[in-house]
Amino acid sequence: MNRLMFYLIVAFVIACFGVGAVNIFGSHGAPFVVYFLIVVVLLALIFKRSVLVLVCVGVVLFYFWRPFSGSASAQSPTSCPSAPRAGSALRGPYSSIDQLMRCDSVGPYALQLTGSGTTEYGFVILRDRRGPSYYATAPVRSSQVANPSCLQRPMVQPQDFLASWMDAINGAHVDRGGYVWAATVHTHPACSMASNNFTATDFNQAIVLKNAPADSVPAVDIEKIVMINANDRKVRAFTPMPGDTPFTTFGIETSDRFLPYANLGWDQYALRVQVVTAYP
Ligand SMILES: [Zn+2]
């Protein structure tokens, strides 16, 4: 193998660890990265590889500069409408998905249900066909088997979102044809992940929903997917675009289980993610 290529790969892997550490531990990740860099620099000096040092420093700086954990969304001053009646099956109306996530208690509630466990919770945001009024359904637990380990955390499945939607439509006694799915929302438990951002699987689901057939039941007209992360309590949103392409199975496996940063598709979508708000 070309020597420079080898250095680049080593540097890239180290950079991924570094960015992952900061994502997981927040500012506590920085000492970890510094420690890691010192080790690399020492090793490089011992083996007289100054190129390796330069490449490492360069790549780490580059990855810190790029907002791979989502950039802040343009926050217009949020004025919240009066809270919906307690116990209503459809929570709203709100003028946008962002407003709903910032103002309604359903987001903090989903986070509270997730708690310190490893199981995801999720709900759906519906849009009234007659105009831009948004409503939230109630959070449901992932139907996957409870697992105390973060390695196989139970994730919210399409049928779980469907169950939440059915409950809301039936509970609110409304015509199901009057609303479209505008967003799905799910939590990420406080598990150590390489990134606090969406996974490749999440991005994929957004792209699949974006391309849902016009006559699908329930009606889907996805604007964004939303995720509440229990690690940093931030609410992130991703807006799929018409030209977005799904990941390969290999891409999902490596990105979800290994290093998302090494997947250019993931990088590209992660850079588009907006942080809508953070819960106290
Ligand atoms: Zn997810």
Quote the ligand 1 centre to 17 CA distance (angstroms): 20
Give me the residue label for tokens 């890239």: 12
Residue 149 has a pLDDT of 81
Q: Residues with Cβ < 8 Å from 219, sequence gap 6 or more?
A: 177, 179, 180, 181
User: CA–CA separation, 277 vs 99, rounded Å?
Assistant: 10
Q: Are residues 19 and 105 in the same domain?
A: no
DSSP SS3 for 126:
strand
Q: What is the pLDDT of residues 108-152, one digit of tens each?
A: 999 999 999 999 999 999 999 998 999 999 999 999 988 888 878
Q: Are residues 92 and 123 in the same domain?
A: yes
Q: Which helix (H) or strand (E) holds 274?
A: strand 274-278
Flag whether pLDDT at 32 surpasses 80.
Answer: no
Q: Where does a domain end: 46, 65, 84?
A: 65
> If you ran DSSP here, which 8-state letter would residue 188 be given?
E
Quote the ligand 1 centre to 184 CA distance (angstroms): 10
User: CA–CA separation, 97 vs 73, rounded Å?
Assistant: 13
Quote the ligand 1 centre to 227 CA distance (angstroms): 7
Domain of residue 26: give its range: 3-65
Residue type, 124: V
Q: What angle do CA 31, 259, 227 make, to 5 degrees?
A: 90
Structural domain total, the chain: 2
> Among candidates 230, 273, 237, 241, which has minimal Cα distance to 102?
237
Quote the ligand 1 centre to 187 CA distance (angstroms): 7
> If you ran DSSP here, which 8-state letter would residue 112 be given?
H
Q: Are residues 127 and 113 in the same domain?
A: yes
Q: Are residues 175 and 141 in the same domain?
A: yes
Q: Which helix (H) or strand (E) holds 155?
A: none
Quote the ligand 1 centre to 78 CA distance (angstroms): 26
User: In DSSP terms, which residues pair with 185 in a beta bridge?
Assistant: 123, 226
Q: What is the pLDDT of residues 219-240, one digit of tens each?
A: 999 999 999 999 999 999 999 9
> If you ran DSSP here, which 8-state letter would residue 247 be given?
P
Quote the ligand 1 centre to 45 CA distance (angstroms): 41
Flag whether pLDDT at 29 surpasses 60.
Answer: no
Please state, in angstroms and as integers, the Cα–Cα distance from residue 53 to each residue in 120, 132, 185, 258, following that order. Answer: 40, 53, 42, 24
Quote the ligand 1 centre to 1 CA distance (angstroms): 37
Flag whether pLDDT at 191 surpasses 70.
Answer: yes
Q: Where does a domain end: 65, 93, 116?
A: 65
Q: Which helix (H) or strand (E) holds 108?
A: helix 106-114
Residue 24 has a pLDDT of 56
Q: Are residues 195 and 58 in the same domain?
A: no
Residue 274 has a pLDDT of 95
> If you ran DSSP here, which 8-state letter would residue 192 be given?
-
Q: Are residues 116 and 25 in the same domain?
A: no
DSSP SS3 for 162:
helix
Paired tokens of 158: 């399409």
Q: Are residues 147 and 239 in the same domain?
A: yes
Q: Are residues 168 and 223 in the same domain?
A: yes
Instruction: Tell me the CATH number at 181.
Output: 3.40.140
Q: Are residues 131 and 50 in the same domain?
A: no
Q: Are residues 230 and 152 in the same domain?
A: yes
Q: Are residues 133 and 224 in the same domain?
A: yes
Q: What is the pLDDT of residues 77-103, one digit of tens each?
A: 668 888 777 678 899 899 999 999 999
Strands 234-238 and 220-229: antiparallel
DSSP SS3 for 201:
helix
Residue 195 has a pLDDT of 84
Under 8 Å between Cβ of 224 and 49: no
Q: Are residues 59 and 80 in the same domain?
A: no
